[in-house]
Amino acid sequence: MDASLLTTLGLIDCVVFKRVSVSEFQVMHNAGNWLDELLPETVNAKVFSFKQNSAYLEDFLIDAENLWIADKNGRIESGMWSEQLSSQLIRLEACAVVADHQGYLVVNKLDAKYRQKQQTLQIARELLLSTDRISAQHDYLHARFDELLSNQCNQALTAQQPVAQALAQTDLGVAILDPDLHLLNSNATLRSLFDDTNIKVNLPADKLLLELFRAQYPECERILSTASSWTGEIYWLNPPQQGKWLKLSIHPIKNEALKVENWLLSVSDVTQIKYLLKRNEKLTHFDALTNLPNRQYFWQQLETKIQQNRPFYLLYIDIKQFKRINELHGHLVGDEIIRDLSKRLNTLIHANDVIAKIGGTEFAVMMDVNHPHSQISSLDQEQCVKFAEELINASCLPFYLSSGLKCEVGLNVGAVAFPKDTHSAEELMKYADLAVYSAKKKALSCIEFYSKELIDASRKRIEMEDALRNAIENQQFELFLQPMLDLDSNKIMKAEALIRWHHANGDLIPPDEFIPLAEQTGLIIPIGKWVIKEACAILNRMAAKGHDIKLSINLSPRQVSDRQLFEFIKDTITKARVNPRNLELELTEGVLIDSYDKAHYLLNQVRQLGMSVSIDDFGTGYSSLSYLQKLPIDRLKIDRSFVKELNENNQDSIGAIILAVIAMAHSLKLEVIAEGVETELQKDFLKQHNCNIVQGFLFSRPVPFDDFCDLLERQKYSKVIPVSINTKHFYYRS
Amino acid sequence: MIQKKICLLGATGVGKTSLVKQYVEGIFSEKYLTSIGVKIDKKQIETAKQTVQFMIWDIEGIDRYCGFQAKYLRGASAFIIVTDHTRSQSLVEGLEILEMVKEVTDVPGVLAINKSDLPASWHWSETELEEIKQGFRQFFNTSAKTGEGVETMFSYLAHVLTE
């Protein structure tokens, strides 16, 4: 077809240049009346060079020249740009091409495409700005009320002036509830949201919101029972008028011990935004970021699928610790990762499967099983596990971002089977949500299937969480002290403070059973603060008895990330009037590597204060020499696993590792502590090779404060070395 | 006369195009019309030392629909990160963009806190803002509507770039 006809039909409006040599071009095709004005150097020229009349195009020529010089068939595009001519504003896009060892430059005039793209993006961006504004209002409100309410134990305080002011000042509808979801306070905006109807609303606004949430989101129960935050949209059908779309945010306000003091409901009317969405069908059913179907579309498909009455799996997928990625790299990078991840997941979906993005970092998949039977079989479960593994593997490959960064993510996958587990769409979503919540608790990416046992375990865990939350308030924690002996003097020089939990049921729970849970739930922050306070109190009690001993306390990863930690330590030491030199912090290698900058900063600060620092479990992790040199540390603790394995038969192999650590530490002028010492042979070996300090059952288990003081007393009056392992009694010899 | 390329960067809807329009043509429109791609405007400015021709690259807002394109900064003499003080998130995104810019160039950058004709409604405290401003060569409160700070900002850049 004749090119001029195409131009007349408005199908193409472009110019084509042939590259003659470096910086010289020839006009091959000129369909546009705009070229002469844009690039006058092309007029009547057999061969021309660009004369800086289009800065954007000439900038693109740098990339184009690289392509042409490489002389391999291919093309690159410039991206759209605009040029203001005397009578018109034109929209262009250039393309550099190599075909049959010849370089071409094509410039397309794309006014129609520009308008179309602009119209779509205009709506999308107006939406983005509106939702962004509303989200910011909700976030600000949460922060403000967290500050106002989190430390108020007396609920009557919700009626106080600052709270009333904050309620009046916001454009959002707000309700403050007590932990049992009873209304304490609300504002006029909330009530006005439900005022414009002729139908009498029987429920108060806060109750109505919770009812709508309960009815429309199967996740409701789990969110309330686990004191989680939630934000989403609910629909209020208020006949005879048009329904209202409300953005609802549910936010627990917790006290220092992380116990829920209040629930905050904030609501805004987003009907207008939904109206904007309806103007573009694609935006109604598809997620703007990933182009995948959205939650509404997924629900429709789920209902249809259930009607077909054929077995399938519903997989609920959540990106592991995505909040951390957003915090570390920013939301733009976060968005880029979600977009790339969605592409990877989408390529793994089979023809009859459906994938959708159903929340900020959540996807859902309906996975078809490939047989005509009416029930799920164990083979199907294997197939589902395999599929989930494929999804997880796809997510684990690094993401190379446009900024040059490299990132890795993981997935939590929860699965539920239709019709085995339930027949209803609501329950499928609810059970899948519970399963994914359970998967979230695992350190590594995994799939969890819904089962009664899973729910029981989850309930047990929630009960344990509640009990842990109450433990601080009910003073159920106690610090046990495990002596550390100086091998030269055979005297107790220090002690490690180790937490024990006296559960209300009478059990004494060791830390390895509750610290991981505390770490996951964030309860480690208040518990860690209690440990610091209690350690200071113990130092004072010991000083009163005439003992000048150093106590070491353990810091967890989450504590190191707590920005207020140093201020807290400093305040506590000052208030308790203890000598900072009598306190030592113990951190594991993993914490140092994972939060290097934070740890480095914190350790410098505490050392300036006079405290010392030791590296716990040394040898099990990275054992990197470089951080040992760079970080301000005083001691290394050889991990118990090395010491424990040391016996008559392996002094050469295991002993060599221990000797290497001792030599390395001493060359860096660090002291060495060996933990887990249980036999005389181990002690003798360590002493013979100049290990400085030892700790272990050979000398004493961790003991309560009074027993520890007894040990110190006895030591005062005799040359003692404890020799026996015994929990209740301690044997000493002179 | 020397030519200097200045890049305007920022989140969607902060008023980059309006700032250029105000500076080059003295025009302002209330209607928000999203930009696609790049538009380059020229303007000459006299400094004490010489005449500078600015090539002002108005670059599409960086958001989930349009990522950061490092190539647009090639040959730039300076950049302006525009934020909107009625929208907290615009500064968060502005700072993310600043990080990405610093990965590819060390030319001077200034912060434009735009829409100063409207009351500030973002939730950044003065202390936080002071700290953020340290990351830039200079900052300006600007209004594309009234013109406040616009001329001053570009004159400052002309001055810095001819020193």
The single-letter DSSP state of residue A316 is E
Question: What is d(CA A689, CA A518) in angstroms, rounded to the nearest whole number?
Answer: 39
The single-letter DSSP state of residue A690 is T
pLDDT of A438: 86
Contact A336 B123 (CB under 8 A): no
Q: Which of A433, A475, A474, A482 is nearest to A455 (CA)?
A: A433
Looking at chain A, the whole-number percentage of residues with pLDDT higher than 70 is: 91
Residue A724 clears pLDDT 70, i.e. is over it: no
Comparing A365-369, A503-507, A569-573, which segment has the lowest mean pLDDT? A503-507
The Cα of A36 is separated from the nearest Cα of chain B by a number of Å equal to 19
Contact in structure between A481 and A703 (CB atoms under 8 Å)? yes
pLDDT tens track for A287-331: 878 889 988 889 889 989 998 888 999 999 999 878 778 777 777
Comparing A87-96, A368-377, B20-29, B109-118, which segment has the lowest mean pLDDT? A368-377
Q: How far is CA B119 from CA A134, B123, B161, in A?
A: 17, 12, 32
For the beta carbon of residue A526, count every other beta carbon within 10 angstroms: 21
Residue A650 clears pLDDT 50, i.e. is over it: yes
Q: Mean pLDDT, chain A, as a whole number?
A: 85
Question: What is d(CA A168, CA A188) in angstroms, rounded to the nearest whole number?
Answer: 8
pLDDT of A196: 63
pLDDT tens track for A575-599: 999 999 999 999 988 787 777 778 8
More confident residue, A711 or A12: A711
The Cα of A222 is separated from the nearest Cα of chain B by a number of Å equal to 30
Tell me the chain B residues in contact with residue A122 when contact means C-beta distances shorter than 8 Å: 33-34
- ∠ CA A97-A99-A104 to the nearest 5 degrees? 40
Closest residue of A to B14, CA-based? A129
- pLDDT category at A198 given cuts 50, 70, 90 is low
Q: Which of B103, B36, B115 is nearest to B71 (CA)?
A: B103
The Cα of A163 is separated from the nearest Cα of chain B by a number of Å equal to 18
Contact A82 B38 (CB under 8 A): yes
Q: Is B158 left (phi over 0), alpha (psi -120 to 50) or beta?
A: alpha
SS3 of A326-373: the string is HHHHCHHHHHHHHHHHHHHHHHHCCCCCEEEECCCCEEEEEEECCCCC
Q: Please provide residue A127's backbone torsions phi and psi, each rounded to the nearest 5 degrees.
A: -65, -45
Q: Which two tokens stand for residue B32?
A: 């928000």
pLDDT of A733: 29
Residue A83 clears pLDDT 90, i.e. is over it: yes
Residues 6+ apart with CB under 8 A from B76: B5, B6, B7, B57, B105, B107
Residue A720 clears pLDDT 70, i.e. is over it: no
Question: What is d(CA A251, CA A140) in angstroms, rounded to the nearest whole number?
Answer: 12
pLDDT of A281: 60
Tell me the chain B residues in contact with residue A118 when contact means C-beta distances shorter than 8 Å: 33-34, 36
Closest by Cβ to B34, choosing from A59, A121, A132: A121
pLDDT of A731: 32
Domains and CATH numbers, chain A: 3-109 (3.30.450), 122-276 (3.30.450.20), 289-461 (3.30.70.270), 475-733 (3.20.20.450)
Name beta bridge partners: A491: A486
Question: What is d(CA A119, CA A651) in angstroms, rounded to the nearest whole number?
Answer: 76
Closest by Cβ to A82, choosing from B32, B39, B89: B39
Residue A171 clears pLDDT 50, i.e. is over it: yes
The Cα of B76 is separated from the nearest Cα of chain A by a number of Å equal to 11
Residue A81 clears pLDDT 90, i.e. is over it: yes
Q: Mean pLDDT, 10 residues at a time, over chain B (163 residues)?
A: 95 95 93 92 91 96 84 96 92 91 93 94 85 93 96 96 88
Mean pLDDT of A386-406: 86
Mean pLDDT of A637-664: 84
Tell me the chain B residues in contact with residue A360 when contact means C-beta distances shorter than 8 Å: none
- Chain A residues whose C-beta is within 8 A of a chain B C-beta are 55-56, 59, 62-63, 79-82, 84, 91, 93, 114, 117-118, 121-122, 124-126, 128-129, 132-133, 135-136, 140, 143, 288-289, 330-333, 335-336, 339, 402-404
End-to-end CA separation in angstroms for chain B = 14
pTM above 0.90, yes or no: no
Calculate the dihedral angle through the C-alpha atoms of A416, A422, A427, A429, rounding to the nearest 10 degrees.
30
Residue of A121, A337, A339, A400 for testing the chain B interface, max B β-carbons within 10 Å: A121
**A431 burial class (0-12, 13-18, 19+ CB within 10 angstroms)?**
buried
pLDDT of B25: 93
Contact B96 A332 (CB under 8 A): yes
CATH topology of domain B2-162: Rossmann fold (3.40.50)
With H, G, I as helix, E, B as strand and everything else as coil, classify residue A302. Answer: helix
ipTM > 0.85? yes
* Packed helices B16-25 and B150-162: angle between N→C axes, nearest 10 degrees: 80
Question: What is d(CA A683, CA A418) in angstroms, rounded to the nearest whole number?
Answer: 61
Q: Which two tokens stand for residue A664?
A: 């390395």
Handedness of CA B22, B27, B31, B32 (dihedral sign): negative
More confident residue, A629 or A89: A89
Q: Which two tokens stand for residue A562?
A: 């707590």
Tell me the chain B residues in contact with residue A91 when contact means C-beta distances shorter than 8 Å: 36-37
Contact B92 A124 (CB under 8 A): no
Contact in structure between A351 and A366 (CB atoms under 8 Å)? no
Question: What is d(CA B1, CA B46) in angstroms, rounded to the nearest whole number?
Answer: 9
Closest by Cβ to B40, choosing from A56, A140, A289: A56
Closest residue of B to A334, CA-based? B64
Edge-to-edge strands of the sheet including A260-269?
A183-186, A173-177, A260-269, A244-254, A230-236
Mean pLDDT of A96-102: 93
End-to-end CA separation in angstroms for chain A = 108
Looking at chain A, the whole-number percentage of residues with pLDDT higher than 90 is: 42
Tokens 């950061």 label which residue? B68
Tokens 């961790």 label which residue? A702
Q: How far is CA A209 from CA A138, A174, A191, A217, A233, in A?
A: 16, 11, 11, 12, 11
Comparing A38-47, A404-413, A700-709, which segment has the lowest mean pLDDT? A404-413
With H, G, I as helix, E, B as strand and everything else as coil, classify residue A466. Answer: helix
pLDDT of B97: 92
